[in-house]
Amino acid sequence: MPPSNNRLQRSSRQILLALLALGVGGFSIGTGEFVIMGLLPDVARDLDIDIPAAGHLISAYALGVVIGAPLLAVAGARWPWRRLLIALMGAYAAGNLLTVLVPGYLPVLLARFLAGFPHGTYFGVASLVAASLVPPHKRAQAVAYVMLGLTVATLAGVPLATGLGQWLGWRAAFVFVSLIAVLAMALVLRFVPFMPANTLASPWRELGALKRKQVWLTLGIGAIGFGGMFSVFSYVKPTLMELAGLSASAIPVVMALFGAGMIIGNLVGARYADRYLDRSIRMVLIWAAGVLLLFMLTAHSPVLGPLNIVLIGTLVALGPALQIRLMDVAGDAQTLAAALNHSAFNLANALGAWLGGLTVSAGLGWTSTAWVGALLALGGLGIHAWSMRLAMTTPHQH
């Protein structure tokens, strides 16, 4: 018994350091993805475009994730996971540095698209690594710890990068993102244990995940249901400045409040998902519809509006639950399915930002993003109900 206990102690320390390393990568990606939302007016002014057009930079990044995740997951199917993670972070650093270097709206739009390519595959592979290091009943919590890097980014990285962007120009924020990505490469190399390549893996085997109905339905829950959060948060700065009268200097505080909500939702939601997976998905989507509709009332208050943003941040609880659900329904096509989860989330990012921008441009007001978000959450709830009914009627089919 003592040798076993010692082995477990060493394993626990290794797991902690590995999750920390993976989380730093998530910190870089989370900062890079969300910081632009707090800098939209600055970007629009510098590139001589309006704010809805600047919002397309958010959509371009998200579409890069949607397209890049399956391509890189299939291409890297036979790579050892640690080597693949390091390469993905290197590509992320390069993509964000490109954002800094290119001039003009269209080149920046293309740079944001390319920067999104490694995002989904990194989180997908990192989630698989984390889940493989813990007992089955703690998988969602392990995934949540990896995602904690993203949530801490919204609490600390995004406000810091937003402040840098307002002080030194918005491009400085992406220099910061690139430097953190390089640090993550070093930490992954040092602390993530080597796992040999899966010799049975192949692009065709990974693509087999696309034949499974439950994989598509789970992705649909994320792509539609998660879009509500982005519909509101993509335009949080102009909304609260216009309606609640907040100053630009208060926006980093709002970003930090959003990050605090994400941390709460991520950790609490993962514990619940490890016990009641599908129930947790259903409850988060119902909660999403409620707190997004509430924003229609609170957006005019300099106190209640930011507090509502904390509640909207908790909607990230959907992430670990859907990641584990995909692992359960994907069979032997784990890498592609895990990466596609973040394609779905960033399709939600693109969809939410696009629909929110449409309603604002149509003159329906800044709070129109809230009812758009609530409808998207209810759409995700409907897809989940469809998935559960299918599972009951055809329990042995995926």
Question: For residue 276, what is the domain's CATH number?
Answer: 1.20.1250.20
pLDDT of residue 8: 43
325 vs 274: CA distance, rounded Å: 10
Instruction: State mean pLDDT over 26-47.
Output: 87
Distance CA 311, CA 258 (A): 8
Per-residue pLDDT, 180: 96
Q: Specify the higher pLDDT residue, 288 or 212.
A: 288
Total domain count for the chain?
A: 1
Question: Residue 7 above 80 pLDDT?
Answer: no
The mean pLDDT of 290-319, rounded to a whole number, is 93
Q: How far is CA 31 from the centre of its chain?
A: 10
Supply the DSSP symbol for 202.
-
Given a cut of 50, is residue 2 above it in pLDDT?
no
Residue 38: inside a domain:
yes
CA distance from start to end of the chain: 41
Mean pLDDT check: name the lowest of 160-174, 212-226, 272-286, 342-356.
342-356
Tens digit of each residue's pLDDT (9 = 90 or more) over 230-267: 899 888 888 899 898 888 888 878 878 888 898 899 88
In this predicted structure, what is the pLDDT of residue 5?
40
Q: What is the pLDDT of residue 3?
A: 38
Query: Is residue 197 in some structural domain?
Result: no
Predicted confidence at residue 87, as pLDDT, reads: 96
The Cα–Cα gap between 217 and 207 comes to 16
Q: What is the pLDDT of residues 184-198, one digit of tens each?
A: 999 999 998 887 766
pLDDT exceeds 80 at position 137: yes
User: How far is residue 92's CA from residue 32's CA, in Å, rounded to a whole number?
Assistant: 9
Neighbours of 267 (CB within 10 A): 17
Q: Which of 61-65, 315-319, 327-331 has the highest mean pLDDT?
A: 315-319
Using alpha carbons, select from 179, 169, 143 the residue that is nearest to residue 31: 179
Range of the domain at 58: 2-192+202-393
CA-wise closest residue to 235 among 326, 331, 395, 356: 356
**Residue at 349 is within a domain:** yes
Which range has the worst mean pLDDT, 33-42, 175-184, 227-236, 326-335? 326-335
pLDDT for residue 199: 62
Q: Is residue 398 part of a domain?
A: no
What's the whole-number average pLDDT of the chain?
Answer: 86
Q: What does the alpha-carbon distance between residue 139 and residue 377 come to, in Å, rounded to a whole number?
A: 25
Specify if 336 maps to a domain. Answer: yes
Distance in angstroms (rounded) separating the CA atoms of residues 223 and 380: 8
**At 1, is the pLDDT very low, low, confident or very high (cuts 50, 70, 90)?**
very low
Q: How confident is the model at residue 4 (pLDDT cuts 50, 70, 90)?
A: very low
pLDDT value, residue 35: 87
Task: Please report, for residues 29, 104, 136, the alpha-carbon distance to residue 86 in angstroms, rounded to integers and kept in the order given.
Answer: 13, 30, 26
One-character DSSP codes across 299-368: TT-TTHHHHHHHHHHGGGGHHHHHHHHHHHHSTT-HHHHHHHHHHHHHHHHHHHHHHHHHHHHTTS-TTH
Q: What is the pLDDT of residue 6?
A: 34
3-state SS class at 2: helix
Global confidence as pTM: 0.80
Instruction: Look at residue 337 in the predicted model and tell me its pLDDT.
Output: 79
pLDDT at 46: 86
**Dihedral angle over CA of 375, 377, 383, 389, nearest 10:** -110
183 within a domain of the structure (yes/no): yes
Tokens standing for residue 141: 């919590």
pLDDT given for residue 21 in this prediction = 93
Q: What number of other Cβ atoms are within 10 A of residue 388's Cβ? A: 14
Token digits for 64? 């890069």
CB 339 within 8 A of CB 65: no
Whether residue 108 lies inside any domain: the answer is yes
Residue 364 counted as domain residue: yes
